[in-house]
């Protein structure tokens, strides 16, 4: 790999204005493929989910998956797009062994959804509007495994093995208009856009949009133009950038690379580039001898799609609250800062907290448990927060026990630990582990008396007005009761017995 000289990011931005275009492919979570009834189950054995249609056998024909169309319309509506009254599928013709028909059934000049926008919020709360060019329906390709080269790479491979289980799985391709005016925040905007889109897709329930599983894939197109000019520069197309962090890094790298080429008097060639996760760089794709000519034409085997307006409106009515709007609403309801909200989001805790409040907990304690104890545990165990073996209802029950004074925080942590260890519901754990707060005034009074007697010097200080010293006596009582006392009540009793105002 040749080392590319890069211009420092700030220097690049001092001279050039980046323009981006983002193309995102989302694999829909339908039960069947876009044009045939084959299942889409992940991890099935090779070529076990194929039929004449998705293998492109002679004589086979496609039939459109209604849920695929419905999902496309939902995505289009959520992206504030116009939904076509009438549109067609088109064939995109090019040869590639992972594509059984050697054309991709896609849409060309008549996408099902067009002219929309998505507002994305940057980490500091600033909202940036990304204009959407189009969202169209198409199909995925099969999967090739390259044999004989180094670590499964295509170069140097002797031959390849093809599994067509993925061929024909519905894809929605979402293309932005050129994103201008983001300036130095362009990489951040790119990342925020893809993140927002992912949240949106998940909220719509049309795909799990797991980037690490290839359910959502992003191409980053980027060009630079001298500051203050209008005309777009030549763009590079960085393909398959498949994590949020990579989207940001790829955009940043390309800005620096383009700037280096341009400021040394070179020209950018329009080409595809590959992103490398390891060092965040991009390298040139294969140089094609001739420009691609996809020879698009209307797919004669499929009839036009003309979604009835009533259907479109029905779907519009089912749209969930947009993730950004919902986040802002929750942020206000919970009374947290934008930064805190961001970390809640990053931790994947939003829905868990909502579910916990839905189960009766107040927002503050729900947030406290999920972002505190549970986030720590998830981190330790290296799992997603949602994957911990505890439900929102169980967390809400713990919070309720604390609120009613049956548990203090320390005991509550033990209760949660018990639930995570599989000892049952919070109540069962409390019962088995004997985690009740000592609230018997008599027993507590005795413990306080004993503590005062054993720490006469401290008691004197308190009597003398050093109220802060009460902490030591509280600690002694808590120790004596093995933590099962309500610390606030203990403090009250101590001050009461020593005749001091709290």
Partner 1 sequence: MPGITREEVAHLARLARLELKDEELDHFAGQLDDIIGAVARVSEVAGQDVPPTSHPLPLTNVMRPDEVRPSLTPEQALSGAPAQEQQRFKVPQILGEE
Partner 2 sequence: MADLIKLTAAEIAAKIAAGEVTAVEVTEAHLARIEAVDEKVHAFLHVDREGALAQARAIDDKRARGEKLGPLAGVPLALKDIFTTQDMPTTVGSKILEGWMAPYDATLTKKLKDADVVILGKTNMDEFAMGSSTENSAYGPTGNPWDLTKIPGGSGGGSSAALASFQAPLAIGTDTGGSIRQPAAVTGTVGVKPTYGGVSRYGMVAFSSSLDQGGPCARTVLDAALLHEAIAGHDPLDSTSIDAPVPAVVEAARNGSVDGMRVGVVKQFRGEGYQAGVLQRFDESVALLTELGAEIVELDCPSFDLALAAYYLIAPSECSSNLARFDAMRYGLRVGDDGTKSAEEVTALTREAGFGPEVKRRIMLGTYALSSGYYDAYYGSAQKVRTLITRDFERAFEQVDVIISPTTPTTAFPIGERTDDPMAMYLADVCTIPANLAGNAAMSLPCGLAPEDGLPVGLQIIAPALADDRLYKVGAAVESALTEKWGHPLIEEAPAL
Binding positions for partner 2, rule: CB under 8 A: 52, 55-64, 91, 93, 95, 97, 100-103, 158, 160, 162, 293, 295-297, 300-303
Choice between 151 and 267, CB closer to partner 1: 151
Contact range with partner 1 by CB under 8 A, out of 35-43, 360-368, 417-425, 426-434: 35-43
In angstroms, what is the minimal distance from the CB of 41 to partner 2? 21
Binding of partner 1 at residue 154 (CB under 8 A)? Answer: yes
Choice between 57 and 403, CB closer to partner 2: 57
The tokens describing 406, both together, are 């049956």
- With 0-12 CB in 10 A as exposed, 13-18 as middle and 19+ as buried, what is 414? middle
In angstroms, what is the minimal distance from the CB of 89 to Mg ion? 12
- Residues 340, 93: Cα–Cα separation, whole Å: 49
Give bridge partners of residue 147 from the DSSP assignment: 159
The tokens describing 404, both together, are 């009613």
Choice between 134 and 198, CB closer to Mg ion: 134
Binding of partner 1 at residue 64 (CB under 8 A)? Answer: yes
Query: Containing H/E element for 461?
Result: helix 456-463
Choice between 101 and 258, CB closer to partner 2: 101
User: Which one-letter DSSP state was computed for residue 436?
Assistant: -
Query: Containing H/E element for 52?
Result: none
Choice between 53 and 176, CB closer to Zn ion: 53
Q: Which of 27, 133, 140, 163 binds partner 1 (CB under 8 A)?
A: 163
Number of residues near partner 1 (by CB under 8 A): 62
Binding partner selected for residue 31 from Zn ion, partner 1, partner 2, none, CB under the kind-specific 5 to 8 Å limit: partner 1
Binding of partner 1 at residue 318 (CB under 8 A)? Answer: no
Binding partner selected for residue 38 from Mg ion, Zn ion, partner 2, none, CB under the kind-specific 5 to 8 Å limit: Zn ion
Q: Which of 160, 234, 243, 263 binds partner 1 (CB under 8 A)?
A: 160
Choice between 56 and 320, CB closer to partner 2: 56
Cα separation values, 300 from 62, 114, 147, 369, Å: 10, 23, 37, 57
In angstroms, what is the minimal distance from the CB of 90 to partner 2? 10
| Nearby residues of 98 by Cβ (< 8 Å), 6 or more positions away | 141, 142, 143, 144, 162, 167
Binding of partner 1 at residue 302 (CB under 8 A)? Answer: yes
Q: Tell me if 132 sits within 8 A of 195, measured CB to CB.
A: no
Binding of partner 1 at residue 280 (CB under 8 A)? Answer: no
Angle at 188 between CA 185 and CA 190, to 5 degrees: 110
The tokens describing 385, both together, are 């927060």
Q: What is the CA radius of gyration of the chain?
A: 30
Q: Tell me if 458 sits within 8 A of 472, measured CB to CB.
A: yes
| Residue found under tokens 């590959």 | 274
Site for Mg ion in 141-200 (CB under 5 A): 173
The terminus-to-terminus CA distance of the chain in angstroms comes to 71
Binding of partner 1 at residue 153 (CB under 8 A)? Answer: yes
Choice between 36 and 189, CB closer to partner 1: 36
Choice between 36 and 120, CB closer to Zn ion: 36
- Residues 482, 253: Cα–Cα separation, whole Å: 57
> Where on the chain is the footprint of partner 1 (CB under 8 A)?
30-32, 36-39, 45-52, 55, 57, 63-69, 86, 88, 95-97, 144-148, 153-155, 157-164, 239, 272, 274, 285-286, 290, 293, 295, 297-298, 300, 302-307
């Amino acid at each position: 790999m040749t080392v590319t000289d890069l211009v420092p990011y700030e220097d690049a931005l001092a001279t050039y204005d980046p323009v981006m275009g983002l193309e995102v492919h989302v694999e829909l979570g339908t039960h069947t493929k876009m044009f045939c009834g084959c299942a889409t189950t992940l991890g099935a054995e090779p070529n076990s989910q194929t039929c004449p249609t998705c293998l492109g056998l002679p004589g086979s024909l496609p039939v459109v998956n209604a849920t695929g169309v419905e999902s496309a319309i939902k995505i289009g509506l959520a992206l504030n797009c116009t939904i076509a009254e009438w549109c067609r599928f088109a064939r995109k013709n090019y040869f590639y062994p992972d594509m059984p028909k050697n054309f991709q059934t896609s849409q060309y000049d008549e996408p099902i959804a067009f002219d929309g926008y998505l507002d994305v919020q940057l980490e500091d709360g600033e909202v940036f509007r990304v204009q959407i060019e189009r969202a169209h329906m198409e199909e995925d390709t099969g999967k090739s495994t390259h044999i004989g080269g180094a670590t499964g790479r295509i170069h140097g491979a002797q031959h390849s093995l093809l599994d067509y289980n993925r061929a024909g799985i519905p894809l929605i391709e979402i293309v932005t208009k050129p994103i201008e005016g983001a300036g130095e925040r362009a990489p951040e905007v790119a990342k925020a856009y893809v993140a927002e889109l992912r949240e949106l897709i998940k909220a719509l329930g049309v795909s799990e949009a797991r980037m690490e599983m290839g359910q959502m894939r992003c191409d980053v197109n980027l060009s630079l133009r001298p500051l203050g000019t209008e005309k777009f520069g030549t763009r590079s197309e960085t393909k398959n950038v498949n994590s949020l962090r990579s989207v940001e890094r790829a955009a940043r790298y390309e800005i620096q690379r383009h700037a280096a080429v341009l400021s040394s008097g070179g020209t950018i060639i329009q080409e595809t580039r590959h992103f490398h996760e390891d060092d965040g760089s991009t390298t040139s794709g294969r140089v094609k001898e001739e420009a691609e000519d996809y020879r698009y034409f209307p797919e004669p085997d499929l009839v036009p799609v003309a979604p009835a307006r009533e259907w479109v409106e029905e779907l519009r009515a089912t749209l969930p609250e947009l993730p950004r709007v919902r986040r802002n609403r929750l942020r206000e309801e919970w009374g947290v800062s934008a930064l805190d909200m961001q970390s809640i989001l990053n931790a994947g805790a939003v829905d868990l907290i909502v579910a916990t409040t839905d189960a009766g907990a107040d927002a503050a304690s729900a947030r406290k448990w999920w972002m505190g104890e549970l986030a720590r545990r998830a981190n330790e165990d290296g799992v997603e927060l949602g994957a911990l073996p505890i439900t929102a209802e169980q967390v809400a029950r713990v919070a309720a026990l604390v609120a009613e004074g049956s548990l203090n925080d320390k005991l509550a942590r033990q209760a949660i630990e018990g639930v995570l260890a599989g000892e049952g519901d919070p109540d069962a754990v409390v019962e088995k582990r004997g985690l009740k707060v000592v609230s018997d005034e008599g027993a507590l009074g005795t413990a306080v008396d004993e503590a005062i007697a054993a720490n006469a010097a401290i008691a004197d200080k308190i009597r003398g007005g050093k109220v802060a010293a009460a902490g030591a006596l509280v600690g002694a009582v808590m120790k004596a009761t093995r933590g099962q006392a309500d610390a606030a009540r203990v403090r009250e009793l101590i001050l009461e017995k020593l005749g001091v105002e709290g």
